Amino acid sequence: MLKVCIPIVETTVEKARRSIGEAHQWADLIELRVDYLREPDLKSLMDGGGKSFIVTNRRKEEGGRYEGDERKRFRILREAVALGAEYVDIEMKSEPSLLQDLISNKKSTRMILSFHNFQKTPSPRELGRLYDRMFQWGPDVIKITTLATSWEDNFKVLSLIPYARRKKQKIVAFCMGEKGRMSRIFAPMMGAGWAYASLNRNRISAPGQLTVTELKEIWERLR
Give tens-digit pLDDT for 104-153.
999 999 999 999 999 999 999 999 999 999 999 999 999 999 999 999 99
- Predicted confidence band at 48 (pLDDT cuts at 50, 70, 90)? low
| pLDDT confidence of residue 65 | 95
CB 28 within 8 A of CB 215: no
* pLDDT of 184 over the 90 cut: yes
Determine the Cα–Cα distance for residues 146 and 151; give it in Å rounded to an integer. Answer: 12
State the pairing for strand pair 170-176/141-147. parallel
What amino acid occupies position 34?
Answer: V
pLDDT tens-digit map of 60-84: 989 999 998 999 999 999 999 999 9
**Which listed residue (116, 120, 167, 170) is catalytic?**
116
Closest CA to 194 of 9, 26, 37, 25: 26
pLDDT(204) > 90: no
pLDDT at 49 over 90: no
Does the annotation mark 143 as catalytic? yes
Number of C-beta neighbours around residue 69 at 10 A: 9
Q: Which of 43, 51, 120, 143 is catalytic?
A: 143
In the three-class reduction of DSSP (H, G, I as helix; E, B as strand; rest coil), residue 132 is classed as helix
- The mean pLDDT of the chain is 95
